[in-house]
Amino acid sequence: MRRLARWRRTPWASILYVALVLLFLFVPLAIVVLFSFHASPRMAFPFQGFSLRWYEEIFTDVEILRAMGRSAIAAVTTGLVTAILGTLAGLGIVGLNARAKGAVMFFAMIPMSFPALLYAIGLAVYYRELGVGFSLGATIAGQIIQSLPFVLLVISATLDRFRFSLIEAARDLGAGAFHAFRTITLPIILPAVLGSMLLAMALSADEFIVAFFTAGQDKTLPLMMYGRLNVKLDPSINAIGTVLLVATSALAFISARRTSKESL
């Protein structure tokens, strides 16, 4: 009887719904990963056996390795710069009154909802007008704008929950401003800073549109993949996609664990 009751109480419809949505979300990713191990150069069913040949191909291709290097540089730079700018701005926002804070956050969030294509062409126009040309640096500068809102969101959410009375107490006890920051504020916000830095890295590594319009000859991994589509369409692009997927979701995973206590 009791077992039956539990069976009845189990929300089967909800479980089914969640499962279907997740299935829908992950089917294309599963196909990308599956065909990256395909023994044949065709990217369609029927599946003709497993092989690591495409991974061997991409990890021995100098151009692809170079592109991986560029993507890594872009990710690390974007992560570091956004973390620094975002943390400083987050601390600054705390010092504003509610109205100013709302306004600043509103403007700061615009790049998050601004269409990437339109931002990318705006950057292309800008770089042309400045005469600086297109390069990896030009792309990174744009990717920082794209991930800054996310970082700011996470950090200010953390700081919102932060009790400033702690600092006041420390200051009352004679601690210097910097000392108070180092010993109290920093340890509390550090997980959020690191977490959002990793998120920014993941966003940068996966970013295509800004890179497409501003990287010039400095092709990042997603651009290299796009270029390959024109020359040889085979599962090596799935292998690149899988590498990107593993790298970005690992970053996102660590990021979520870092920030989960604070803001999720």
Partner 1 sequence: MKPNRIVTALQLAPASVYYSALFGAPLILLVVYSFYTTENFDFIPQFTLDNYVTAWTSDVYRTYFARTLRISAITALAIAVVGFFYSYVITYTLRAHRAVLYFLVLVSMFGGYLVRIYAWRSIFGAEGIANSALMSTGIISEPLDLLRNGEFAIVVAMINFYLPLGILPIYAAMQNVGPGQIEAAQDLGSSRLGAAGKVVLPLALRGVTVAFVFTFIATAAEWLTPQLLGGTEDQMIGNRIAYQFGAGFDWPLGSALAVTLVVVLALLLGAMFTLVRRWIR
Partner 2 sequence: MSHRVIRSGAIAAALTLTTVLAGCSAGGGGGDTPTGSGPIDPTACDGVTLSFIGLDGEQGDQELADWRKEHDMTLQTTSTTDMSQLIAAIKSGQQFDLATMTKDDAQRMIEGGIFQALPTDRLENWADMVPGMAENSNIRDTAGTVFGAPIAWGDGPFVYRPDKAEIVDDRLSILDLTKPEWKNRFVLFNSPGRSFYFIGNALGFDAPYYSPEELEEVAATAKTLVQNAAAFATNYQDATDRMVSGDVDLVINGWQAQVASAEEKGVTLDWGYFDEGRTGWWDAIAIPTTAQNAECAALYIDQMIGVDAQVQIAENLISGVVNTEAIDATAGGPADVYDYEAAVLDPNTEVFGPMIPQEDVPDGVTTYQDWLDAWEQITSGS
Footprint on this chain of partner 2 (rule: CB under 8 A): 40-44, 96, 100, 130-133, 216-217, 229-234
Q: Which of 69, 92, 102, 176 binds partner 1 (CB under 8 A)?
A: 92
Name the binder of 191 from partner 1, partner 2, none, CB < 5-8 A by kind. Answer: none
* Between 42 and 66, CB nearer to partner 2: 42
Least distance from partner 2 to the Cβ atom of residue 227, Å: 8
- Minimum CB distance to partner 1 smaller for 1 or for 229: 229
Burial tier of 35 (Cβ tally within 10 Å: 0-12, 13-18, 19+): buried
Give the nearest distance from C-beta 43 to partner 2 in angstroms.
8
Q: How far is the CB of 145 from partner 1 (least distance, A)?
A: 5
In whole angstroms, how close is the CB of 82 to partner 2 at the nearest point? 17
Q: What's the token pair of residue 194?
A: 């690191």
217 makes contact, choosing from partner 1, partner 2, none, with CB < 5 to 8 Å by partner type, with partner 2
- Smallest separation, CB 76 to partner 1 (Å): 17
Nearer to partner 1, 80 or 114 (CB): 114
| Residue placing its CB nearer to partner 1 in the complex, 1 or 98 | 98
CB of 109 to partner 1, least distance (A): 10
Beta bridge partners, 38, equal 50
Stretch that binds partner 1, among 60-68, 72-80, 121-129, 183-191 (CB under 8 A): 121-129
Q: Which is nearer to partner 2, 1 or 231 (CB)?
A: 231
**Chosen from partner 1, partner 2, none, partner binding at 67 (C-beta under 5 to 8 Å by type):** none
Measured CA to CA, the distance from residue 57 to residue 238 in angstroms comes to 12
Among positions 1, 5, 14, 230, the unique one binding partner 1 when judged by CB under 8 A:
14
3-class DSSP string for the chain? CHHHHHHHHCCHHHHHHHHHHHHHHHHHHHHHHHHHCECCCCCCCCCCCECCHHHHHHHHCHHHHHHHHHHHHHHHHHHHHHHHHHHHHHHHHHCCCHHHHHHHHHHHHHHHHCCHHHHHHHHHHHHHHHCCCCCHHHHHHHHHHHHHHHHHHHHHHHHHCCCCHHHHHHHHCCCCHHHHHHHHHHHHHHHHHHHHHHHHHHHHHHCCHHHHHHCCCCCCHHHHHHHHHHHCCCCHHHHHHHHHHHHHHHHHHHHHHHHHHHHC
Residue 27 binds to partner 1 (criterion: CB under 8 A): yes
Query: Which of partner 1, partner 2, none does residue 89 bind (CB under 5 to 8 Å by kind)?
Result: partner 1
Whose tokens are 């956050």? That residue is 105
